[in-house]
Structure 1
Amino acid sequence: MIKNKFKKTVISIVALASLFGAGITAPIASASSISSYQADKINLEVKSAIALDSESGQVLYAKNADKRLPIASMTKLITVYLTLEAIKHKQISWDTKVEPTSAIVKVANNSEYSNVPLKKGHLYTIRQLYQATLIESANGAAMCLAQAVSGSQVAFIKKMRTQLQKWGIKDAKIYTVCGLPNGNVGSAAYLGANKNAENKLSAAEMSIVGQKLLAEYPEVIKTTKVSHRAFKDSGQTTSMTNFNWMLKGLSQYSGAYPVDGLKTGTTDAAGACFIGTLKYRGRRLITVVMGARHQDGTDPSRFVETKKLLNYIYQNYSPVVLPAKTKIAKATSMGVIDGKALKIPIGVKTSTVVWDPKDGKTLTTKLRYSKVEAGIQKGQTVNEYQFKSGNNKILTINDQPLKVSAQALQGTKKANIFVRIWRWITGTK
């Protein structure tokens, strides 16, 4: 039993077989793919989808999650991330003023796109452009942010690709900073790419973008949760309304699903897309739906499907809270090689949550290591727990078993040579 009593789940511990030497990992069976994890449990009318715990990365649902599809204006989250990075490193500031190029002005004043009109010769602050990008999904504003950070659209696109590589997203298809098809940005088009080329990521990759943004810049929520805001430009005011209709005050709002971000995306090829986030049972969840129906500008399908996905999670998972220093029965200690103490007590390193599927199966865990070399300090990470529900692994967005770090609750120094020789003679372990 977990030392702290949990209403839902008893966690039993399966100790690993003996290992040869310290620091040798036990063999871990390859995890089944998260691409369509629990996909048969709910009929989502989308091309692909995923839901996960933003902090731990635990996947709660996936449908065709590895299939790359057009992401449209969800692209802007990468643009916003790099803008926040530039502000953090003092390359620009919130008050930096930007003059749009002729190409940007042309895009910004195209009424066929979601936009805030920008004018040639006018100056706009990074704060204004950032708000317009996230709230109104303004394409011209996003392009201005790219211009301010990198000096050109092409240079920024290369920066976007590099950032995705750093996040483990290889060979991503990125052609525009705003998510429009390449041919729709006029002279700012990416040279050598087809005019119909669109940015493409998988639902799983898009969720990683959301994860990274929320982890490093959680303040983004202060803007993504805004339903309405005015964009002021030399006496002229443009009313901005968030395309995320699940926000409070908008048509798809529901108190049961207090969504506060992140970004929609729509093109003919992409259909209706939405990466959403909300706090539930004390944890931040991320959902992505791609390729939902989009009959016209009033079609709420992406939000209807998101609600179905969230309702599935609400009904089929229970959070098991593991506070820091929690000791788990039958895994309360581990061996120490050549230590003054032959064993040390261990517990959970950092407070976390494991989402337990309501599948009638017992949630179990095992330790990855059986022993550790002496010279351990209290609080040092010395092991990790991995989890299963019955025979099914609890998986993360990296397609690996969920791992929770274990810390030493007591330190121990290395035993002197005489003690070690005596143990060798007597066979003490």
Structure 2
Amino acid sequence: MEKYYKKIIALSFVILFFITSLSFSPKTILANFDVGVNSAILVEGKTGKVLYEKNADIELGIASMSKMMTEYLILEAISEQRLRWDQNVPISPWVARLSHDEAGSNVFLEVDSSYTVKDLYEAVAIESANAATIALAELLGGSYTSFVRLMNDKAEELNLEKFKFVNSTGLPNRMYNAENRAEGTTSEDENRMSARDTARLAYHLVNDFPELLETSKIPMKNFQGNIVTDKTWMQCKEDWTCMKNWNDMLPGLPNFYEGLDGLKTGYTVLAKYTFTGTAERSGTRFISVVMGAESIEMRFIETAKLMDYGFNNFDKLNMQESLEVSVVKGKEKELMVSSVEPLSFLIRRGEEELYTPYFELDSNLLDEDGNVIAPIEKDQVIGWLSYEYKGENTFSYLTEDGYTKERVPLLANHTVEKAGWFSLTMRSIGGFFSGIWTSVADGVKGIFS
């Protein structure tokens, strides 16, 4: 959605306007920037501002990136106390059998062993464990079919547009026995989303449950044990109790990228190699999605290119503003308002001069002439400080309210009490006679002109 603004009444303002550069080496903006995958997108993590996209609205296979929706539903249930981290998760016979399929990504599970929600959630987030995903889905949904329905319902609630969930794992449905598939799905089905909607899901996941990054950033961990620091990633892969993160851009793994702490990889024949990544440096977070890469390494190479594009070609611009507005029906006729905090937003490097402050006063506090109506309390929200862009490189957002995340409140610097009845009456009388005197003066002037 493009950014729109309402008409604003601004009488005068004092501007403190400065640029804060991200702490990275400046590089030339890549005018013809491209990535070597079928579909991709790069967005700012805080606002969902889209910085780059390529075929982002094509619905494609997403493979294990599907597990981000499973993670969202688990974390939501934890936050709403419908699940507990220490709650025991029953393991059905077919889940136990699936967990021993060494051809897939799994941790070994047994029917008669004990596992907590936290144990299996970590297996999903780190190892991308398929059987653990199904066990959690059955626990939360009550049945596998019900959980898949929850996935699609949540996608609609999050305003995803191009999606289809047929299972919790992202595996091709043909890998499920008929009796274990969600009702209404077929063996030919597979989970799908567009890159834009995958980024939307990741955006909500990171912003609604930022604690998930504490798990997704773990390179290696023993199942039901401690974080692994005394093994190489190759040694971890050979040990079935050691969960090695499929995200090879984490510290100590083959494609390490500074600041990257999530999020989810995937592979099927349909989807090819996919990856939703997120990285933060100096307080700026990006989310990227690459789909249809030809190899494991390529999905990380192209992700690094997207992240480099973001960190090397965009800066933070800060505005700290004050504005003097007219007041009616008050003991004072002017009110100074100020932004409660600096407005900080991402811009293309070199476009600082194309941005100016933009003030929007709360229409509920104004008369028909745009004056603020007393009484006003100190620190009352009078409106919002945003910006106006006069360049050609406009941005869209993942969500309809994305632009509202690039504004800060304007607060009243002091109290303006409502004037008493007598003062208001005298002002009205003064205004009346002033109007008559002006009319008489204009008439006399007309006679002698």
State the TM bucket, normalised to the shorter chain: 0.7 to 0.9
**Match status 1:225 vs 2:217:** yes
Q: Distance in 1 between matches of 2:132 and 2:335?
A: 57
**Match status 1:3 vs 2:16:** yes
The residue number in structure 2 matching 1:290 is 291
Q: 2:301 is aligned with what amino acid?
A: V
**Match status 1:271 vs 2:272:** yes
**Match status 1:137 vs 2:128:** yes
Q: Deviations over 1:294-346 (max 9, x none)?
A: 3xxxx311110011111112221111234xxx216xxx244556555555433
Q: Distance in 2 between matches of 1:60 and 1:353?
A: 16
Q: Deviations over 1:34-83 (max 9, x none)?
A: xxxx9974110112222222122222222222222222111112111211
Report the Cα offset of residue 380 of structure 1. 1.4
Q: Report which stretch shifted further, 392-401 or 50-59.
A: 392-401
The residue number in structure 2 matching 1:318 is 315
Q: Report which stretch shifted further, 383-392 or 236-245.
A: 383-392
Equivalenced residues, count: 385
TM-score normalised to structure 1 length: 0.80
Structure 2: segments with no counterpart, 5+ residues: 1-13, 23-28, 226-238, 367-372, 436-449
Is the CA contact (8 Å cut-off) linking 2:338 and 2:412 kept in structure 1? yes
Aligned-residue RMSD, C-alpha: 3.0
The residue number in structure 1 matching 2:304 is 307
**Match status 1:253 vs 2:256:** yes
Is the CA contact (8 Å cut-off) linking 2:148 and 2:168 kept in structure 1? yes
TM-score normalised to structure 2 length: 0.77
Q: Distance in 1 between matches of 2:430 and 2:173?
A: 71
Q: Distance in 2 between matches of 1:381 and 1:109?
A: 61
Q: Distance in 2 between matches of 1:124 and 1:165?
A: 31
Q: Distance in 2 between matches of 1:87 and 1:370?
A: 37
Is the CA contact (8 Å cut-off) linking 1:95 and 1:126 kept in structure 2? yes
**Match status 1:205 vs 2:206:** no
Q: Distance in 2 between matches of 1:381 and 1:113?
A: 57
**Match status 1:189 vs 2:188:** no
Q: Distance in 2 between matches of 1:171 and 1:289?
A: 16
Distance 1:143 1:279, change over 3 A: same
The residue number in structure 1 matching 2:349 is 358
Q: Distance in 2 between matches of 1:293 and 1:390?
A: 37
Structure 1: segments with no counterpart, 5+ residues: 10-37
Q: Distance in 1 between matches of 2:30 and 2:140?
A: 40
Q: 1:303 is aligned with what amino acid?
A: F
Q: Distance in 1 between matches of 2:396 and 2:329?
A: 35
Report the Cα offset of residue 133 of structure 1. 0.2
Q: Distance in 1 between matches of 2:119 and 2:19?
A: 47
**Match status 1:52 vs 2:46:** no
Report the Cα offset of residue 179 of structure 1. 1.3
Q: Distance in 2 between matches of 1:392 and 1:249?
A: 38
Q: 1:220 is aligned with what amino acid?
A: L
Is the CA contact (8 Å cut-off) linking 1:51 and 1:288 kept in structure 2? yes
Q: Distance in 2 between matches of 1:370 and 1:210?
A: 33
Q: Deviations over 1:361-391 (max 9, x none)?
A: 6232433458642354424151341442524
Report the Cα offset of residue 263 of structure 1. 0.9
Report the Cα offset of residue 416 of structure 1. 5.7
Q: 2:69 is aligned with what amino acid?
A: I
Q: 1:409 is aligned with what amino acid?
A: A
Q: 1:268 is aligned with what amino acid?
A: V
Q: 2:184 is aligned with what amino acid?
A: G
Report the Cα offset of residue 142 of structure 1. 0.9
Q: Distance in 1 between matches of 2:430 and 2:54?
A: 55
- Out of 97, 100, 103, the position equivalent to 2:91 is 100
By percentage of residues, which structure has more helix?
2
The residue number in structure 1 matching 2:235 is none
The residue number in structure 1 matching 2:34 is 43
Is the CA contact (8 Å cut-off) linking 2:337 and 2:382 kept in structure 1? no
Q: Deviations over 1:371-418 (max 9, x none)?
A: 642354424151341442524434322366564133223354555662
Q: 1:321 is aligned with what amino acid?
A: N
**Match status 1:155 vs 2:158:** no
Distance 1:415 1:90, change over 3 A: same
* Within-5 A mapping of 1:76-115: 76-115=67-106
- Out of 170, 178, 192, the position equivalent to 2:169 is 178
Distance 1:409 1:169, change over 3 A: same
The residue number in structure 2 matching 1:281 is 282
Is the CA contact (8 Å cut-off) linking 1:56 and 1:352 kept in structure 2? no
The residue number in structure 1 matching 2:399 is 398
* Within-5 A mapping of 1:401-412: 401=403, 403-410=406-413, 411-412=415-416
Q: Deviations over 1:163-204 (max 9, x none)?
A: 222222246311111111222232321222232222222222
